[in-house]
Amino acid sequence: MDITNEPRRPAWLLDEVASAGRENLDATHARRYDAKEDAGADDEVPVLRAHGLTDTSVVVDLGAGTGQFTLAAAAECARVVAVDVSDVMLEQLRAKVSAAGASNVEVVRAGFLTYQHTGPLADFVYTRYALHHLPDFWKAIALDRARRMLRVGGVLRVSDVIFGFDPADAEERIEAWCASVDGRGDDEWHRADVEEHVRDEHSTFTWLFEPMLQRAGFVVDDVSRSPDGVVASYLARAAPREERPTAAAAPPA
């Protein structure tokens, strides 16, 4: 099922298409994406199964791209909503959904900030290598919106470039990351890709991201970080609203 899910946007809202990244709006890149990027879907589904994914589950895949995770999850659950802002990525996704005959997949052209969830609350919200397209203010809004589409106890799974080091170490650590990427073919990542990511996109630090999760109403059950401190993956559960942290009272004047 293909759905248009973009309400009228206020003028102050971030344009997620403009923030989607140059390559993700490029049809040639979209066609090569599955060869260039392994989203690890075959490993991710067992992780979610261990945290309650069943054949009755509702899953929302935010920033679904070409649908690597979407299709893997669709074989395991009742409903998957695949959400992305890129028409060229969605073109690839729709073709794969059609070829697989995955009637339980809904394809929605929308973003973290515009997707409007309908039907029963989700059991899982999943996003991989997509949230970094939003600056931190908008990440916090996106996480709050993800919490609102989840049932209490539902699971948020986030994997992304989230730096686990201090600003004083950034030059050394970023340069080491750039130097570690040595792809040469069209279907491989190049140093220039990493440089573009750091320069033009919005990866944050773990010590900024984790308070965002808490503030949005999540309790982190598990976090894993790559040895180089570049990638982090979180499993977080949606807490009851009464457990959400509140702002500290202002000191007396």
- Nearest Cα neighbor of 83 from 33, 13, 149, 162 is 149
Bridge partner list, 235: 157, 222
- Band of residue 23 on the pLDDT scale cut at 50, 70, 90: confident
pTM of the model: 0.90
Residue range 160-177: mean pLDDT, rounded? 97
Q: How far apart are CA 56 and CA 120, in angstroms?
A: 11
Residue range 69-92: mean pLDDT, rounded? 96
Q: What is the DSSP string of 239-252?
A: PPGGGS--PPPPPP
Report yes or no on 224 lying in a domain. yes
Report yes or no on 212 lying in a domain. yes
Give Cβ neighbours of residue 95 (< 8 Å, ≥ 6 apart).
Answer: none
- Nearest Cα neighbor of 161 from 113, 127, 212, 125 is 127
Measured over the CA atoms of residue 51, residue 53, residue 59 and residue 61, the dihedral's sign is: positive
- Band of residue 25 on the pLDDT scale cut at 50, 70, 90: confident
Q: How far apart are CA 143 and CA 147, in angstroms?
A: 6
Domain CATH number, residue 227: 3.40.50.150
Q: How far apart are CA 217 and CA 145, in angstroms?
A: 10
Measured over the CA atoms of residue 52, residue 154, residue 66 and residue 185, the dihedral's sign is: negative
Residue range 18-32: mean pLDDT, rounded? 78
Domain that holds residue 6: 2-162+203-240
Work out how many domains the chain is built from and give that number: 1
Q: Is the pLDDT of residue 250 over 50?
A: no
Report yes or no on 158 lying in a domain. yes
Residue range 192-201: mean pLDDT, rounded? 94
DSSP E strand stretches across 25-149: 58-62, 79-84, 105-109, 122-128
Report yes or no on 214 lying in a domain. yes
How many other C-beta atoms lie within 10 A of the C-beta of residue 191? 14
Report yes or no on 127 lying in a domain. yes
Report yes or no on 213 lying in a domain. yes
CA distance to 22, 33, 85, 86, 251, per residue, from 28 (Å): 11, 9, 17, 13, 56
Angle between helices 206-216 and 136-149 (to 10 degrees): 40
Residue range 48-66: mean pLDDT, rounded? 97
